[in-house]
Amino acid sequence: GAGVSQSPSNKVTEKGKDVELRCDPISGHTALYWYRQSLGQGLEFLIYFQGNSAPDKSGLPSDRFSAERTGGSVSTLTIQRTQQEDSAVYLCASSIGTLNTEAFFGQGTRLTVV
Amino acid sequence: AQKVTQAQTEISVVEKEDVTLDCVYETRDTTYYLFWYKQPPSGELVFLIRRNSFDEQNEISGRYSWNFQKSTSSFNFTITASQVVDSAVYFCALSPGNTPLVFGKGTRLSVIA
């Protein structure tokens, strides 16, 4: 596609359930990032994938959070046993090169845990 | 520690006024990159500019201009003759060395017709 695509755009889930958020990056982009944006807060880094290298998971807030990137393309962010504090907009971005290059963001998935 | 501070949480201006959005950063790296992104109501962040730490030249792009001053660790963004379409949240971000972007908390700009 022309841009970074995220699905679903909105997700409401019950506390304790698992959720999967999907990101389809721009074709040819080797780098992929997940960020979280909570109300009134900036963007919080979660995880970074670059090519076939081991991902940088340093931003994941707990072991309930995990992410995969299959075939160097699509990525899935999984949150297990969701809590109300997980409610936020989850943003995915991709870039053609290293960390310092321009990142293109998707429109995000708004997650609401009730 | 890497940090970006956008002290202005919200700014409101009348159309055609000039407005400056402040950004102050902290890093111990000598090589780093600074960015500005715009987040309109649709939610998708739009890239505006990237500067590296070795290039302190100011930049102008249409009504947008950026003032990078290493001496004060600032990378301020000015919109000249603001328009309603400029209303958005603006984020300043820092990428020190080879690490992911560190964002400020954003400044919400409202331009009133």
Q: Best interface-test mutation with A: which of B33, B44, B51 has the largest number of A CBs within 10 A?
A: B44
Contact B43 A43 (CB under 8 A): no
> Would you say B90 and B38 are in contact if contact means Cβ atoms under 8 Å apart?
yes
- The CA distance from A19 to the nearest CA of chain B, in Å, is 21
**Residues in chain A closer than 8 A to B43 (CB atoms):** 89, 107-108
**pLDDT value at position B94?**
94
Contact A33 B102 (CB under 8 A): no
CA distance B65 to B68: 10
Contact A41 B37 (CB under 8 A): no
Q: Which of B45, B100, B105 lies closest to A45 in CB terms? A: B100
> Would you say B99 and B2 are in contact if contact means Cβ atoms under 8 Å apart?
yes
Q: Which distant-in-sequence residues (6+ apart) come within 8 Å of A81 by Cβ?
A: A16, A17, A18, A64
Could you report the per-residue pLDDT of B53-77, keeping only the tens digit for each? Answer: 998 888 889 999 999 999 999 999 9
Contact A33 B52 (CB under 8 A): no
More confident residue, A109 or A71: A109
Where in chain B does DSSP place strands (E)?
Answer: 3-5, 10-14, 19-21, 24-26, 32-39, 46-52, 59-61, 64-69, 74-79, 88-96, 102-103, 107-112
pLDDT in tens, chain B (113 residues): 789 999 999 999 999 999 999 999 999 999 999 999 999 988 889 999 999 999 888 888 999 999 999 999 999 999 999 999 999 999 999 998 778 899 999 999 999 99
Could you report the per-residue pLDDT of A9-42, keeping only the tens digit for each? Answer: 999 999 999 999 999 999 999 999 999 999 877 8
Q: Which distant-in-sequence residues (6+ apart) come within 8 Å of B21 by Cβ?
A: B6, B8, B11, B76, B77, B78, B79, B90, B92, B107, B109
pLDDT band at A1 (very low <50, low <70, confident <90, very high): low
